[in-house]
Amino acid sequence: MSAPLVSVIIPVYNEEEGLPSLFARLYPALDALGHSYEIIFINDGSRDRSAALLREQFQQRPDVTRVILLNGNFGQHMAIMAGFERSRGQRIVTLDADLQNPPEDIIKLVAKMDEGYDYIGSIRRLRQDRWWRRKASRAMNWLRERITKVKMTDQGCMMRAYDRTIIDAINHSQEVNTFIPALGFTFARNPVEIEVGHEERAAGESKYSLYKLIRLNFDLMTAFSSMPLQIFSLFGMAISLLSALFFVFLVIRRLIVGPEAEGLFTLFALMFFLIGIALFGIGLLGEYVSRIYEQVRRRPRYLVQAVLEQVQE
């Protein structure tokens, strides 16, 4: 068996309710592709019957199915990394297990690569999510545009296609806390975006709480830009300049008008504002330090418990 043209990578975490309908749509869609393919499911330590369902599916289609069972929950992006490291295809497609993006659109991504693009991003047509998630991701898109070099219309959509060269670069970079679509983008030579469908989650619930979404966005900003830190040093410089001017002003005022004791609370307000900024700055510094720490510890990024695949001759 030679390497397939297309590898489809699907992270799975507690998706037992949705997996049967995923299988029912995914396999026909890929059989209709007209290219050789493999599907790599990564079970990210699900606590429901997902692993058992994946095992059954592997037994039904061992020719094109591979299953990686991770040893715990390492997060969506690390699960995808585990899939990348074992993928063999020339074109690699990532897809969520929840059917929010239609598997029938994979053919569009793969076909677009024929035109010579090495990174196919995606934009969700008629995005179906909670309003606060739509608003929050609009704000994060805006911020990311300004502080990183990553250009993306819709950063939240994971259905994307990457050329082998990009995946090799990603595998080589061994990042711990990262955001795969952005990492892929930084290695792309000729990226493009197309529209894909989007539906509401049919079964199960979103694995991303507000807290996890905030963490993910911190990863996105700090992994791809050090501008937040630079803004802080600029801000610090501006403040010291202003306070020097303020000092000169107070000295002159002292000489002309005499000593002053009013305006105490204005000073307090000013102080609290600056303390707030300083605390945020320390927290931000901590974000970078903890990233450095995790990276230098060099622990394995994920542990594989078992891999289900057909023996290659």
Which of ligand UDP, Mg ion, none is residue 69 near (CB under 5 to 8 Å by kind)?
none
Two tokens, residue 90: 């020339």
Contacts of 65 (CB under 8 A, 6+ apart): 38, 39, 41, 57, 58, 308
Given the complex with Mg ion, which of 78 and 113 has the nearer CB atom?
A: 78
Query: Rounded CA gap, 182 and 178, in Å?
Result: 8
Which residues bind to ligand UDP, rule: CB under 6 A? 11-13, 15, 44, 73, 75-76, 79, 96-98, 100, 206-208
Contacting range for Mg ion; rule: CB under 5 A; set: 52-60, 97-105, 184-192, 218-226:
97-105
Q: How far is CA 106 from CA 21, 109, 238, 253, in A?
A: 16, 5, 51, 71
List binders of Mg ion among 57-96 (CB under 5 A). Answer: 96
Q: Which does 89 bind (CB under 5 to 8 A by kind): Mg ion, ligand UDP, none?
A: none
Would you count residue 148 as binding Mg ion (CB under 5 A)? no
For residue 18, give the DSSP letter: T
Q: How far apart (Å, rounded) are the C-alpha atoms in residues 221 and 228?
A: 8
Binding partner of residue 221 among Mg ion, ligand UDP, none, CB under 5 to 8 Å per kind?
none
Of 16, 38, 44, 98, the residue at the interface with Mg ion (CB under 5 A) is 98
Is 100 one of the binding residues for Mg ion (CB under 5 A)? yes
Could you give the angle at which helices 210-224 and 180-187 cross, rounded to 10 degrees? 20
Would you say 22 or 117 has its CB closer to ligand UDP? 22
Q: Which does 38 bind (CB under 5 to 8 A by kind): ligand UDP, Mg ion, none?
A: none
Q: State the nearest-atom distance from the C-beta of 37 to Mg ion, in Å.
A: 22
Name which of ligand UDP, Mg ion, none residue 97 binds, using a CB cut-off of 5 to 8 Å depending on partner kind: ligand UDP
Strand partners, 191: 119
Give the SS3 label for residue 124: strand
Kindly report each contact of residues 55-63 with a partner whose C-beta sits within 8 Å and lies 24 or more positions away, as own/partner.
55/308, 57/19, 57/23, 58/308, 61/27, 62/309, 62/310, 63/310
Contact partner at residue 73 from ligand UDP, Mg ion, none, CB < 5 to 8 Å by partner kind = ligand UDP
Question: CB of residue 100 vs Mg ion: minimum separation in angstroms?
Answer: 4
**Closest approach of ligand UDP to the CB of residue 125, in Å:** 15
- Smallest distance from the beta carbon of 10 to ligand UDP, in angstroms? 7
The nearest distance, CB 208 to ligand UDP, in angstroms, is: 5
The two three-digit tokens of residue 14, written as one number: 């507690």
Q: How far is the CB of 177 from ligand UDP (least distance, A)?
A: 13
Residue 90: HSE in the Cβ half-sphere, 13 Å Cα cutoff: 11
Smallest separation, CB 213 to Mg ion (Å): 12
For 148-224, where are the alpha helices, taking DSSP H only? Answer: 164-173, 180-187, 210-224
Query: Which residue, 210 or 270, has its beta carbon nearer to ligand UDP?
Result: 210
Task: List residues near Mg ion by CB under 5 A.
Answer: 96, 98, 100
